[in-house]
Structure 1
């Protein structure tokens, strides 16, 4: 993907020194911006190919302020519209139109947004319950989807490819957690009975899909949720039902996304689902538990084939959220485990180190995964960061709030009472804030355990921002020019150049430690 998420090391170092110096003409650094065309863009098969994706400055500033965060602070990630108020924004976070305007100012031509406010939202997880009750479909349509559509349809944004993720966890919950299934909940049963998940998804697809530069991707859970035949085939049928309701058609669907806000490994490099140990298939191990898939890439590719067979267009593409599924660090296995038993073989070799694949909240030991990449594998439109690293999955203890978010014991590191994860420990980090709020400890853990590792300028795993240049002096002043010089810090060896700004406008560049600014 041609985005600011693939910045070269030297430019990363320059970004870290952005507030370096100021005296008359200010020495600073910035990402070069390519103006976006005001003309409408032609619809493409894969919106990620050749795209420059928007970097959310709100998230970027938080990431850059963390140890090691400067190395990834310019990575594009999705913006979440998780409540009606998020559309207009607040003093703490910009609204949808402000994000889009900033995208244009950045020179981006790809904007990514999560549509996430269904009635009775996320019925099987209390931490991410939303503001709308299970019967408030009318409010969802008129107060949430319609205002979003009005903004996205503004001709000012016609040059942007706008990628949406439609309602994470909604339809998968209907498949596995409603009405007679092992993980059933009363809330999910209600949503299955009234059909508002399907109606809401259909309305969102139809309304947003009518905008020529919008690309809708439906959330499709992950392999540890739907990877069994008993779940996967019904899920495909459920997706088709929702995608053809409330006026929507399969033409409103650009593709699907897996692993949204989850931790399932992109690839398990040390064993395959077809492996056997002493005559016992790895599918019989406690970790795999008869699943047909052991990682997200194989699951996504197989699900795509199934969805096409169900009537979705043959050119649909899959997205995989890789923001938190790297599982690197010193504990990452490099080979399969011993062949003394199938469990030892799998547990010793799996890179996904969760206690159970059903654990989803602020997972201990997790790491940032693959950086956003366009068309990395057959059938995959992109690896993306749907869940921005550092944003909490949920609070580890009850927190009073006005966001409609409850307390889910799966975010409590001491809880062992959930049958859906075998009554195992949750693996959640302690002291976590409300879902969507900044969680510094989680961010730092994700950076430490990133795979591929987050490297600094040149070699090694330096993720510390360089110190700013010092000693700015001016000399040879005239009425129309000034000569500047400065001292580069010793840890700034990867800096390949400095951009010079006057009154916020770039006026030149220097590859040395001096510059003469003319035309004052």
Structure 2
């Protein structure tokens, strides 16, 4: 179950040509940092529970007459069963549309109240809501916020893009319905819904020292081989999980997250998570893997569940970045491009699963450190369209895309932007960015979404971001930009992502849990999700004989000095790791220690 991003072709200027290309319409603005930019207050009143709050206000996009914003509220006081966030504008901003809260405005004063499904906030618990608004003149940001009447002092919300587009985004976020219209799917399946907590993962997490803090978080169920449909070694099978989901569902909506991950010739450029099917076994993939899954999901018993599928990570991007003509080409990827079985397999899965009324397909779209370069970005989008229209599938059977699956790329880099320069040298020329057009996952996801819409995908497609291991907190987390002595010191000193190189992907040392799963956190983003269950290994540190088809990849060896895909850098991997998908206690402890937001 590893995310084998050893396929990050184009991560060094020596191997990939770069040409100027289109830029993102939706440029995500940075997360608010602790240095004077996050509002925090602690207060108490006689006879009342101790109250405290942290509010983060993000302007996700802006055009000449309006903007979209996202607000994250964290309760740092005693638990509450309902919340109201209040602020006032200094200008003429008027909220026109909101989601995940009941938003009202009187003059400059705005009030956002919790809904029935998101009012409970435990100590340290967070939730988010968003809105679109109009404005004219200067779009000044609120100076202070209140949570249930308590002022969160010292707020320093983010600023809008320095060069905003002159027209609104093609599809500004719409108010997500809490239940889908009759006969139709919800625009955002996560809106107004709980998400299934995998009992098997939850038990492993809870058994770890301190693990109870996150054991109730929802994670995906990985169907990484045919046997997983019925259950491996006495474990839960697909029906077992769906039945458990019905129990968790209760009276409301519930999302079940599945990873469809068993293509023939799987992970052609890596070894740690090779699969059970050979390159030519497309018929087995269809009849013995996808068809049985589809038959179970189509059971009317499960019609009340919202089933989200992540379809075949690490497959389609390989056909762009690791084939002949690229410096990182592999013979195996050439085989899969020639025989077309990745395209056929993904198309078949989308068609079969997307024909089920309550299934929402999200296709894997790599991450910014893999596909963010000009040579990779557009070609990958075209490849996604080709697969989405193969084997009888249509674009309408793709509900969205997911980025950073099981990877470590930072959600948002606050301390440097792609437009920055140091002493006349662009940030794009730094060794870390290396001519990429994106610095983080939110900006990449929003740009990829715009590109896909331009190619004909539905204007309402949404993006998911896997935040299970991209928190990069702990003592190594920078609190401000790096020194201005050079573009490299500026970027390296300020970047949250502390990997040695963007191409490193296996059991990364220093990584931390990221943002907790959240619905509709930013424009065009359906949810932050934990698809890769924290604590499950990416691959073994040394060769371990097994019957799962999983090989030994040197990128999982902490002594490995690297290759062209990671700039001939050390792998940055943790030692003593087990096979991909097996529980790795040391990694889980590392992720908790370095969580951001902190546990």
TM-score (norm 2): 0.70
Q: Secondary structure at the match of 1:9?
A: coil
Measure, in 1, the Cα distance between the counterparts of 2:573 and 2:120: 32
Residue 383 of structure 2 corresponds to residue 270 of structure 1: no
Which whole-Å deviations, capped at 9, do the CAs of 1:335-363 have from their partners, x for residues lacking one? 11000000000000000000000000000
Q: Secondary structure at the match of 2:351?
A: helix
Say which structure is richer in helix. Answer: 1
Residue 438 of structure 2 corresponds to residue 325 of structure 1: no
Q: Give 1:82's aligned residue.
A: 224
Residue 368 of structure 2 corresponds to residue 223 of structure 1: yes
Larger Rg: 1
Q: Give 2:550's aligned residue.
A: 405
Which whole-Å deviations, capped at 9, do the CAs of 1:270-324 have from their partners, x for residues lacking one? 1101100000001000000000000000000001000001111111000000000
Measure, in 1, the Cα distance between the counterparts of 2:116 and 2:455: 34
How far 1:42 sits from its partner (Å)?
A: 4.8
User: Match for 1:353 among 485, 495, 498?
Assistant: 498
Q: Give 2:122's aligned residue.
A: 9
**CA 1:185–1:6 in 2, change beyond 3 Å: closer, same or farther?**
farther
Instruction: After TM superposition, list the pairs within 5 Å mapping 1:269-418 onto structure 2.
Output: 269-418=414-563
User: Match for 2:294 among 149, 155, 179?
Assistant: 149
Please provide the CA RMSD for this pair. 1.9
Residue 176 of structure 2 corresponds to residue 63 of structure 1: no
Measure, in 2, the Cα distance between the counterparts of 1:281 and 1:137: 46
Q: Give 1:23's aligned residue.
A: none
Which whole-Å deviations, capped at 9, do the CAs of 1:462-498 have from their partners, x for residues lacking one? xxxxxxxxxxxxxxxxxxxxxxxxxxxxxxxxxxxxx
Q: Give 1:44's aligned residue.
A: 186
**CA 1:413–1:52 in 2, change beyond 3 Å: closer, same or farther?**
same
Q: Give 1:98's aligned residue.
A: 240
| Conserved 8 A contact 1:3-1:76 | no
Instruction: After TM superposition, list the pairs within 5 Å mapping 1:141-180 onto structure 2.
Output: 141-180=286-325
Q: Give 1:206's aligned residue.
A: 351
| Conserved 8 A contact 2:562-2:571 | no
How far 1:409 sits from its partner (Å)?
A: 0.4
Measure, in 2, the Cα distance between the counterparts of 1:368 and 1:274: 28
Q: Secondary structure at the match of 2:316?
A: helix
Which whole-Å deviations, capped at 9, do the CAs of 1:34-83 have from their partners, x for residues lacking one? xxx9x998511110000111100000000011122101100001100000
How far 1:251 sits from its partner (Å)?
A: 0.5
Residue 252 of structure 2 corresponds to residue 110 of structure 1: no
Residue 325 of structure 2 corresponds to residue 183 of structure 1: no
Which whole-Å deviations, capped at 9, do the CAs of 1:442-480 have from their partners, x for residues lacking one? 0000000000101xxxxxxxxxxxxxxxxxxxxxxxxxx
TM-score (norm 1): 0.80
| Conserved 8 A contact 1:395-1:411 | yes
Instruction: After TM superposition, list the pairs within 5 Å mapping 1:188-199 onto structure 2.
Output: 188-199=333-344
Which whole-Å deviations, capped at 9, do the CAs of 1:181-240 have from their partners, x for residues lacking one? 121111111000100000000000000001000000000000000001110000010000
Measure, in 1, the Cα distance between the counterparts of 2:505 and 2:118: 25
Measure, in 2, the Cα distance between the counterparts of 1:283 and 1:392: 32
Q: Secondary structure at the match of 2:256?
A: strand
Q: Give 2:9's aligned residue.
A: none
Q: Secondary structure at the match of 2:272?
A: helix
How far 1:9 sits from its partner (Å)?
A: 3.5
| Conserved 8 A contact 1:41-1:160 | no
Measure, in 1, the Cα distance between the counterparts of 2:527 and 2:514: 13
Which whole-Å deviations, capped at 9, do the CAs of 1:388-433 have from their partners, x for residues lacking one? 1000000000011111100000000000131110110000000000
- Count of equivalent residues: 429
Which whole-Å deviations, capped at 9, do the CAs of 1:13-54 have from their partners, x for residues lacking one? xxxxxxxxxxxxxxxxxxxxxxxx9x9985111100001111
**CA 1:138–1:391 in 2, change beyond 3 Å: closer, same or farther?**
same
**CA 1:317–1:421 in 2, change beyond 3 Å: closer, same or farther?**
same
Deviation beyond 4 Å, 4+ runs, structure 1: 1-8, 39-42
| Conserved 8 A contact 1:275-1:282 | yes
| Conserved 8 A contact 1:6-1:75 | no
Measure, in 1, the Cα distance between the counterparts of 2:589 and 2:118: 19
Could you tell me which runs of 5 or more consecutive residues in structure 1 were left unpaired when the two chains were aligned: 13-36, 455-520
How far 1:149 sits from its partner (Å)?
A: 0.2
Measure, in 2, the Cα distance between the counterparts of 1:4 and 1:132: 42
**CA 1:10–1:300 in 2, change beyond 3 Å: closer, same or farther?**
closer
How far 1:249 sits from its partner (Å)?
A: 0.4
| Conserved 8 A contact 1:392-1:432 | yes
Which whole-Å deviations, capped at 9, do the CAs of 1:75-109 have from their partners, x for residues lacking one? 00110000000000034420000000000011262
Q: Give 1:446's aligned residue.
A: 591
Measure, in 2, the Cα distance between the counterparts of 1:373 and 1:82: 25
